[in-house]
């Protein structure tokens, strides 16, 4: 989702698409991030690294939204560059979030007790 967001933002800067598509996709991405963070809190608790990474990504996303609207309002190229740079920071956070979620899922699967299977012919 973030990759599409960066493409839409760049396309809006160069006039290929209207900025409203970047804003709408950004809002959808933010909702997905909130849902993922809440899910992490419910599944792993508020002390988990996954939840804390989700909170950090959410806070950075709020900064990103503010930067985006300031860049849009002032039409300042320097703020646009900061907005783009922060998008990559956000991408790293979300990649870490996804990677950690995948590692946590693999760990939980390997820690589940496995019931011994008995072949039908041995009973």
Query: Is 29 or 120 the better-scoring residue by pLDDT?
Result: 29
Q: DSSP state, 113?
A: P
Q: Is residue 64 part of a domain?
A: yes
Answer yes or no: is 73 within a domain. yes
Are 56 and 93 contacting, i.e. CB atoms less than 8 angstroms apart?
yes
Of 47-51, 78-82, 91-95, 113-117, the range with the lowest mean pLDDT is 113-117
What pLDDT does 59 receive?
92
Q: How many domains does the chain have?
A: 1
Q: Which two tokens stand for residue 112?
A: 């589940």
Over residues 69-82, mean pLDDT: 90
Question: Is residue 4 in a domain?
Answer: no
Record the tokens describing residue 74, joined without a space.
Answer: 């002032």
Q: Is residue 49 part of a domain?
A: yes
| Predicted local distance difference test score (pLDDT) of residue 119 | 57
How many Å apart are CA 77 and CA 55, to the nearest integer?
29
The residue range of the domain holding 66 is: 30-104
Domain contains 20:
no
The answer as to whether 25 is a domain residue is no
Domain annotation covers residue 6: no
Looking at per-residue pLDDT, the higher value among 16 and 107 belongs to 16
Asked whether residue 111 is domain-assigned, the answer is no
Q: Is the pLDDT of residue 76 over 60?
A: yes
Distances (CA, A) of 51 to 4, 11, 39, 101, 106: 24, 32, 8, 10, 17
């Amino acid at each position: 989702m973030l990759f599409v967001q960066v493409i839409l933002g760049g396309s809006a800067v160069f006039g290929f698409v209207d900025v409203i598509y970047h804003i709408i996709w950004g809002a959808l991405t933010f909702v997905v991030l909130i849902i993922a963070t809440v899910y992490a809190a419910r599944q792993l608790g508020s002390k988990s690294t996954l939840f804390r990474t989700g909170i950090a990504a959410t806070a950075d996303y709020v900064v990103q939204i503010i930067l985006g609207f300031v860049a849009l309002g002032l039409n300042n190229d320097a703020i646009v560059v900061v907005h783009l740079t922060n998008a990559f920071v956000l991408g790293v956070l979300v990649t870490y979030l996804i990677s950690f979620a995948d590692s946590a899922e693999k760990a939980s699967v390997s820690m589940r007790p496995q019931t011994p299977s008995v072949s039908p012919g041995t009973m």
